[in-house]
Chains A and B, each alone.
Chain A
Amino acid sequence: MSTTQAEILVSGKPGSGPGLALSAPISFWGGVDPKTGCIADVRHPEHGLSIAGCVLFLPGTIGSSSASAVLMELVHNGRAPAALVLHEPDAILLLGLIVAREMGWDTPLALRLDRNRFGAFAGRQVTVEADGRLS
């Protein structure tokens, strides 16, 4: 299988899981249940799916200033994605990983990759290496 090199936004623990590519931007606050990792926004196309343990591909994020709190809470509850792959960095969301790492908790990697390349990973098992390689 071929590998893709992505840029590391926030370093973290390598991981693998099913590739879940969201088809619309999401607001973590109000959009993801911090206790379960389920997509709670009823207007979101992937409403009801869980992001926990997935390699999550985000085409865009809707900035709420509490997105970081939700992502950190997911990490704390063991319901975070195995890795996050963003089309564009979202400093508020990724702050949740930075703070969780400061707390000494295991945090997933966050990578940057053009959303046109998400399709190759959606729906299959994806492995993310510590150096930012996806396969």
Chain B
Amino acid sequence: MSLALTPEERAIATGEAGEGAAMAMRIVAESAKLLGAPRLIPIASAHIDGALYHGDSGTLFAERLVEGGARVAVRATLNVGALDLMGCSRVRLEEPARGMARRMMEAYRKLGCEQNWTCAPYQAGHRPAAGTDVAWGESNAVAFCNSVLGARTNRYGDFLDIACAIAGRAPDYGLHRPENRRATLVFDVSNLPAKFLKSEIAWPILGNLYGREVGNAVGVMAGVPGHPGEDALKAFGAAAASSGAVGLFHIADVTPEAPTLAVALGGLEPQATIRVTPQMVADARRSLSTAASDDRIDAVAIGSPHLSLAEFDRLEALINGRRLRVPIYACTGRHVVWELDRQQRRTALETAGVVVVVDTCVVVTPILPDKPDGVLMTNSGKFAHYAPGNTGYAVIYGSLADCVESAAIGKPILTDFA
């Protein structure tokens, strides 16, 4: 089926609304052709991952849109950039890259995007209604938006996200279509101990395993005893979307499109059921760590996705007034830092040895000290996945409680579970 554009879309693509809008419309239309989409559909909002600096060409593209008079047509929030604009942490990005990264962030502001700079926009007030079509980038945000909010998005990559936001349209394809949102696989965790399933550490580990087992198919998790809370689902989606191309997951009795297992499956039999065993969980947990030994750590990093205020509450309770021997890099958005500052809590955290990282995070830009044999401890399945390649640090994976305890005494503590 070939792509049919409306007369209005064709007029925009040929420059009726300015060269910037034309460029955006042509990019959306060319992508739709490659995807085999028959038409474009209107979108209600966008979340833009394209403002992270990978090289000068991305900056020049954003500035070309600005010069062409383009503006976003729908609400558009911004994912992390390469700099901490709030100045809470020091980013070791050198000139000229630093200047180009700043110009890129500035260009996206001029296009009318909201300055959220967070990978958890859904906890910063951007929550599209269930069933609405949106164009979101950043894999964890895509997974959360589809799965937990029930809004509809594909995994929008760099450039296409902003092009859709300016055009106000997206290709009618993939997860925008209800028939592609049905689960075809069951990920059954009912054989796992209830104590494990209720623990905080369960979610990133299960997410990592789910991503590898289910990949880009749509699955439904069965056997979960009640709603685990939004931060647990956030951690699950982030881990799943970094170990596999997961854009949408369902959890029976928990997520909006899975009021029951049968509804999530669309009344059909699953193609396969993955019965998760304690051994699979133990293997997944081990695979998240890459450090050769458990005898030292140089830093702890938390907050991928960005920490919520509730997660800071828990961090403070676990630190419990102690002074840390190893720094904890706590990545978050300005929506949380403003609240911490309003309640005068940030200074105490920083005095204890927490480095609050805002607008960005430790795996997308150089913040951690340059240390060839460094060891990083984390409770994030996503940090565990990307830190070795992007920072050079080996990883030890543990719960938040173990991360804080390890930072406090200066060496890794790992509690056995289940």
The answer to whether A91 and B159 touch across the interface, beta carbons within 8 angstroms, is no
Assess A65 versus B137: contact at CB under 8 Å? Given A9-B34, A103-B64: yes
CB neighbours (8 Å) of B55 from chain A are: 34-35, 69-70, 73, 76-77
Chain A nearest Cβ from B129, distance in angstroms: 24
Chain B nearest Cβ from A127, distance in angstroms: 25
1/0 per position for B157-169, CB-CB distance to A under 8 A? Answer: 1111000000000
- The secondary-structure label for the interface of chain B is helix
Which of these binds chain B: A12-20, A52-60, A92-100, A116-124? A92-100
CB neighbours (8 Å) of B157 from chain A are: 64-68, 92, 95
The answer to whether B160 and A95 touch across the interface, beta carbons within 8 angstroms, is yes
**Measured between alpha carbons, how far is A76 from B158 in the docked complex, in Å?**
16
The answer to whether B58 and A73 touch across the interface, beta carbons within 8 angstroms, is yes
CB neighbours (8 Å) of A65 from chain B are: 49, 137-139, 155-158
Assess A99 versus B61: contact at CB under 8 Å? Given A34-B55, A76-B55: yes
Please indicate which of the listed interface residues B49, B155, B156, B159 has the most CB atoms of chain A within 10 Å of its own CB: B159
The answer to whether B27 and A102 touch across the interface, beta carbons within 8 angstroms, is yes
**Chain B residues proximal to chain A, CB less than 8 Å:** 23, 26-27, 30-31, 34-35, 49-50, 52, 54-58, 60-61, 64, 137-139, 155-160, 245, 389-390
**Chain A residues proximal to chain B, CB less than 8 Å:** 9-10, 29-30, 34-35, 63-70, 72-73, 75-77, 89, 91-92, 94-96, 98-100, 102-103
Which one of A69, A91, A92 contacts B58 once the chains associate, using CB atoms below 8 Å?
A: A69
Assess A103 versus B57: contact at CB under 8 Å? Given A63-B245, A65-B49, A95-B31: yes
**Measured between alpha carbons, how far is A66 from B242 in the docked complex, in Å?**
13
**Measured between alpha carbons, how far is A30 from B155 in the docked complex, in Å?**
18
**Measured between alpha carbons, how far is A23 from B156 in the docked complex, in Å?**
28
The answer to whether B57 and A100 touch across the interface, beta carbons within 8 angstroms, is yes
Assess A95 versus B49: contact at CB under 8 Å? Given A65-B137, A103-B64: no
The answer to whether B35 and A91 touch across the interface, beta carbons within 8 angstroms, is yes
CB neighbours (8 Å) of A96 from chain B are: 159
Chain A nearest Cβ from B248, distance in angstroms: 15
**Measured between alpha carbons, how far is A9 from B155 in the docked complex, in Å?**
21
Which one of B52, B61, B158 contacts A103 once the chains associate, using CB atoms below 8 Å?
A: B61
Complex: chain A residue closest to B54, CB-CB: A69
